[in-house]
Amino acid sequence: MKFYKNYSILQYLLILTIFFGCTKDKIVTEVDDKNEPPTEVGIVKISGTIKNTYGIIVPNVKISVHQNGKKIGEILSDFMGKYSTESLPINPTLDVTLEYQKQGSNVIYKRFDGDNKLIKIYNPLLGSEKSDSSLTNANYALVNPSDTNLVKIWGYTKLANGTPVRGVECTAAWELKNYSNRLLWPKAASFMSSDEQGYFELLVPKNKKIYFKTFYLKYPDSWNGQCAIEFQHILPNVYDQWFFNDLGEFQNDTQINLRTDINIDLITLTVRGKALRWDGSPVQNGQLNGFIMIPFGPPGYFIPVNNIIDSNYTFGPNGEFEFYIEACREQGKVYGLAAIVKENNFEGRVSVDNLNNPDNIGVAKLCDDYNDYPDDFTLKLGDEPVKNYLLGGDYPVDQTANPKQNLVTSFAIVNGDYYEYVYFSVMNFNLGIQKINGLQMEKGRKTGKNIVEIYETTFKANPNDLVLNITKIEDPYVSGTINGSVVTPSGSKSIDISFRIYNK
């Protein structure tokens, strides 16, 4: 217990007598300004329940409480995600800012006005941490969240009919980092996901130009981010290709007006089909992946829109399966259905390029062998060291070809969240010099559970600048080399590839 510095011993004893004689404890803290009245513990109670954007309770969140330019204490959310500031001395006449921190989640801030209200409730949603290899939560944490040079910009994310939309990622950035003109990353920014009422607020510095964006992914695990909605108005500015809007500078707390014309048109279906092994016997247990998709390229190829995964699905006695799925419908797009079934490293798929008959999309035959076999793929680009690509291969033969002599494969190097891919293909290959159909290198960064955003195409080779030589075809391997030149962002470079791929 702390008391004012100028208390005499007599006053101290008097206070002790009063303290132990009262039925209600009152604790005052030491303050620097002797004219400021003491603030009692428990007068202001800010409380709520913390969840993530999936609606899952988040325990052990550190909540730091800041007021009048200093941190006055911190608390933790309990095992049910609940928190309360009643153990801290908060002055009800002054603004108070709460900082919510949890490893793996964004640091978010909530500022409450000093309006003399003693009971305040706020239920924040924590989104996934926004970071790259050099920027993490430590970079985004504010030094003094109660600084009066910070103002809040706030608003609501709602549909055209007024329905609040929770979990919209809102970003206000005042410094941005550009990766090769393809990927833009906030370097100094505030983040928050809209809450159950669609409300968000972001603390930003005065006299700094603020670039603002929102992003809503109704199905966060969908493979290509379908049902992605931008709530902000996007006017021409230097960063509009990344969907940032230039809001200008702020001097006071300001409401941001967002779009009010957004509607969501849902596709909802129950899909049925059958799965058989390569010998015709029914699949009993395995992994079932169901898709709403957009047909793309040759028959059987598609772009996933939304998907369900059941890793331990029990099929019917004749291999029957059933799943429910939904997705957002976009005008002008044609949708289809697909299922991929896996059992003991064998896989089969079935797809239809429409939504006409979800009760019977056909039979998935498990004819593709996905056992891991040893492959070799090395690449030397210009003066760079030789790279050994350890991931990929194993499935070079295009199963839709007839005869099956199309070599279509890819290899990758993974370093944390960063990926480097090399794709190549050759049609109707035989021993000797062949015409290569395609060779391409891309670099990407993982931005979601199943999403890798490509930020650089290092090269897309001209087939006339390459020589592909199939040096050996023997059960079970195809071996060869690729030599020539490619054009990269830094100019033309020689390329030398050696490969040995398991031919299934």
- The per-residue pLDDT string of the chain (504 residues; one tens digit each, 9 = 90 and over) reads 333 333 333 343 333 333 333 333 333 333 344 344 445 666 899 999 999 887 888 999 999 999 999 999 999 999 999 999 999 999 999 999 999 999 888 899 999 998 888 999 999 998 887 655 455 566 788 889 999 999 999 999 999 999 999 889 999 999 988 876 677 888 889 999 999 899 999 999 999 999 999 988 777 666 555 677 889 998 899 999 899 999 999 999 999 999 999 988 888 899 999 999 989 999 999 999 999 998 877 776 788 888 889 999 999 999 999 999 988 888 788 999 999 999 998 999 999 999 999 999 999 999 887 777 788 999 999 999 999 998 876 554 444 444 456 777 889 999 988 999 999 888 877 899 988 999 999 999 987 666 788 899 999 999 999 999 999 988 778 899 999 999 999 999 999 999 998 876
Determine the pLDDT at residue 384: 94
Q: In terms of Cα–Cα distance, which of 227, 209, 207, 208 is closest to 217?
A: 227
pLDDT at residue 184, as a whole number? 83
Residue pair 157/187 in contact by the 8 Å Cβ criterion? no
The residues pairing with 343 across neighbouring beta strands, listed in sequence order, are 346
Q: What pLDDT shows up at residue 130? A: 64
Q: What's the whole-model pTM score?
A: 0.58
What pLDDT is recorded for position 449? 64
Q: Which residues contact 191 (CB under 8 A, 6 or more apart)?
A: 106, 107, 108, 127, 130, 140, 169, 170, 171, 202
What pLDDT is recorded for position 409? 83
**b/e per residue 339-377 (b: at least 16 CB within 10 A):** bbbbbeebbbbbbbbebeebeebeebbbebeeeeeebbb
Nearest residue to 104 via CA among 59, 151, 74? 59
Quick one: which of 317, 362, 316, 365 has its CA closest to 338? 362
Residue type, 383: D
Assign residue 484 a region (left: φ > 0; alpha: ψ between -120 and 50; beta: otherwise): left
Max Cα-Cα span within the chain: 103
- Tokens linked to 141: 């944490």
Nearby residues of 474 by Cβ (< 8 Å), 6 or more positions away: none
Q: What is the pLDDT of residue 222?
A: 65
Q: CA-CA distance, 347 to 276, in Å (whole number)? A: 10
Q: What is the pLDDT of residue 371?
A: 73
Residue 201's H or E segment, with its range, is strand 199-205
pLDDT of residue 138: 64
3-class secondary structure, 337:
strand
